[in-house]
Amino acid sequence: MSTSKKKWFLIFLYLVSAFVVATSLGFILISSVIEFCISIYTKRSFDFSNIDFIQCIKIGIGGGGIGAIGCWFIYYKNYK
């Protein structure tokens, strides 16, 4: 691997990990706020179950991975 290919691979790993973490945390935050608002207005108990948490992480992995690959592809195309 040349230095340039190593650099692009490290950028790819960084983008994937950053996008996955950011997207997962974003979905968890949004779900928590929605659940909190619903519990206030409907007098329902605040219930953020493990299924919702795991679903947010799965969506974050999928969406973050797709977004990271897209951004990396755009960066790489503009570089060449």
User: At 22, is the pLDDT very low, low, confident or very high (cuts 50, 70, 90)?
Assistant: very high
Q: Identify the weakest region by mean pLDDT among 1-5, 18-22, 44-48, 57-61.
A: 1-5
Average pLDDT, the chain: 83
- CA–CA distance, 78 with 60 (Å, rounded to integer): 26
CA distance 77 to 75: 6
